[in-house]
Amino acid sequence: MGIRQDINDFLAKFEHQFITYNRIEVSKQALLNNFDFFKLSSAGSMQIIPVLKANAYGHGISLVAESLNERIFPYFAVDGYFEALRIRRVSDKPVLIMGAIAPENYTRIKFDNFAFVVDELVTIDALGRTGKRVKVHLECNSGMNRRGAKIGEIRQLTRRILSYPNLELEGIMSHLADSDGDDPGTVDEATAVFDACVEEVIACGCQPALIHLAQTAGSLKAKSRYANCMRLGIGLYGINPFGPQHKLHSELEPLIPALKLVSTITKIINLSKGEKVSYNYTFTANRPMKIGVLPLGYYEGVNRQLSNAGLVKVKTEFTPIIGRVCMNHTIISLENLSTKIGDAVVIYSDNPDDPNSIDQLASKFGLFNYNLLTALSPDVRRVLV
C-alpha cells in the first residue's frame, strides 16, 4: 500500500507540473456567488444541496467540492458511489448518492458518511441486512416516471425502512419533470403529489429531517408545504435553465458562469487560394489566408456542430472555426489577427454575452447547454481560478 501511494503521489505531482495546451478554468468565486444567490433568494429558509454528479456538470468534481467546503449545507449530491469516493478525497461533508446501485454491492462498500436514495424493497432490504447505520432518502414518483415510488407504495416502503433498526429515514425527495417548461400547472400538479407522499410518510409516524423536491428551475416554481431543501444543479455553475424567451429567464440573470474552456495555437499554416481544410474538404480557401490549429476536438468536448459555424475568441477578437471539428483538433481562421504559436484561444467563454458562451451556443445552434458542459472530457485539466 505504501509503494502504491508513493507511485500515485509521484504521478499526481508529475501531472500537475506537466504543461498542457488545453485547460478548463473554474471560478471559485462564481461558484460561491451562485450558491449564495440561491441561499439568499429563499431568505435562508431552504437548505441547499449542491449537485456534483456528471463530474460536477463537467466542471471537475474534486475542484467544485473543495471550493464549496467553506459553505454550510447538509449534503453534496451525486449519482454514483465512485463519485462519492472522489468527493471524500477532498471533503469530509456528507454525500447523498442518488443513483441506483446493484443491491449486492452494499456488502462491499464503505459507508463513509454517505446516505442513499431508495425507492423499492430490494434496496431497502439490502441496506437493512448490512446491519450498519445508514441514512436513506425515500424517493417518490411525482410524475417523472423514471425513478421513485408511486404514492400507493409509500407506506409499505416507509414501514419496511422503519423495520430495520440500523436504517434512518432521514429524507424524502422527488424530481420535477417540467420545471423549466412554460406551463406552471405541471409543477403545481407534481408538487401536490409530492406533498401527498410526504403526508403518507408522516402518517407512518416518521418525520424526515430533509424534504427536497425542486432543482434549480423548480426552486422558482414549486410551492411545497413541506420542502425545506432544494437541490442546486445547473444553477450552481452559473447556467440559466430557462431559455432567453422564458418569462423567468431574468430571475436568474445574476448567475455567473463558472467555466471557461481554453486552448492554444500549436501550429500556423498559410493556405493558398483553393486549398482545403479538414475532413471531407468542407472548407476551401477562396483567397490566400492564415489558419491556426488547436489541439482539441470533439473528444475533448468541442461540439462537432460548430464545424464551419462556431466562433472562438483570440485575445479580444472572435474568429470562426473552419472545416470539420476533428477528434483531437480544431482549426480556426487567423485572418486579420496578430497571433503566434502559443497564444491562448477561448473555446467556451465564461462571459454570457460572448457568442461562444455556453448559453449563446446552445441558443444559436439548438444545442443543450447541460450537454455542452457534461461532454467536456475528464482528461482536460481543470484549474481553479
Q: Provide the CATH number for the domain around residue 85.
A: 3.20.20.10
The verdict on residue 96 lying in a domain is yes
Whether residue 198 is found in the same domain as residue 77:
yes
249: its cell numbers: 429567464
Residues 231 and 295 placed together within one structural domain of the fold = no
CATH of the domain at 309: 2.40.37.10
Cell readout for 304 is 462537432
In a domain, 23, yes or no: no
Residue 270 has phi, psi (to 5 degrees) of -100, 115
The answer to whether residues 315 and 182 belong to one domain is no
| Spatial distance between the Cα atoms of 332 and 270, rounded to a whole number of angstroms | 12
Last residue of a domain, one of 192, 225, 252: 252
**Residue 11 pLDDT:** 64
- pLDDT (0 to 100) of residue 44: 74
Task: Determine how many CB atoms are found less than 10 A away from the CB of residue 145.
Answer: 9
81: helix, coil or strand?
A: helix
Per-residue pLDDT at 3: 72
Same domain, 221 and 174: yes
Which pLDDT score is estimated for 6? Answer: 65
How much is the pLDDT for 172? 98
Tell me whether residue 16 is in a domain. Answer: no
Same domain (yes/no): 34, 93: yes
Q: How many domains does one find in the chain?
A: 2
The answer to the question of residue 15 being in a domain is no
Same domain? For 43 and 167 the reply is yes
Same domain assignment for residues 123 and 149: yes
Render 271-316 in DSSP notation, one character per residue. Answer: EPTT-EESGGG-EE-SS-EEEEEES--TTTT--GGGTTT-EEEETT
pLDDT at 184: 87
The residue out of 212, 232, 252 marking a domain boundary is: 252
Same-domain pairing of 82 and 225: yes
Cα–Cα distance, 62 to 58 (Å, whole number) = 11
Answer yes or no: are the C-beta atoms of 263 and 299 closer than 8 Å. no
Is residue 69 one of the residues assigned to a domain?
yes
Burial (CB < 10 A; 0-12, 13-18, 19+), residue 192, is middle
Question: Domain for residue 208, yes or no?
Answer: yes
Last residue of one domain, picked from the residues 202, 231, 252: 252
One digit per residue, pLDDT tens: the chain, 385 residues?
567 766 666 666 666 677 899 999 999 999 999 999 999 988 678 999 999 999 999 999 999 999 999 999 999 999 999 999 999 999 999 999 999 999 999 999 989 899 999 999 999 999 999 999 999 999 999 999 999 999 999 999 999 999 999 999 999 999 999 999 999 899 999 999 999 999 999 999 999 999 999 999 999 999 999 999 999 999 999 999 998 889 999 999 999 999 999 999 999 999 999 999 999 999 999 999 999 999 999 999 999 999 999 999 999 999 999 999 999 999 999 999 999 999 999 999 999 999 999 999 999 999 999 999 999 999 999 999 9
State pTM to two decimals.
0.93
Domain membership flag for residue 6: no
pLDDT for position 282: 98
User: Which residue range(s) make up the domain with 92?
Assistant: 28-252
Compute φ and ψ for 64, nearest 5 degrees.
-70, -45
Per-residue confidence (pLDDT) for residue 209, from 0 to 100:
98
Could you tell me if 215 and 120 lie in one domain?
yes
Do 32 and 171 reside in the same domain of the chain? yes
pLDDT of residue 126: 98
Q: What is the pLDDT of residue 243?
A: 87
pLDDT of residue 17: 74
Q: What is the pLDDT of residue 10?
A: 67
Q: Which of 110, 174, 182 is nearest to 148 (CA)?
A: 174
Residues 378, 265 share a domain: yes
Rg value, the chain, Cα: 24
Report which DSSP code applies to 98: -
Q: Are residues 221 and 271 in the same domain?
A: no
10 falls within a domain? no
Q: Which residue has the cell 429558509?
A: 45
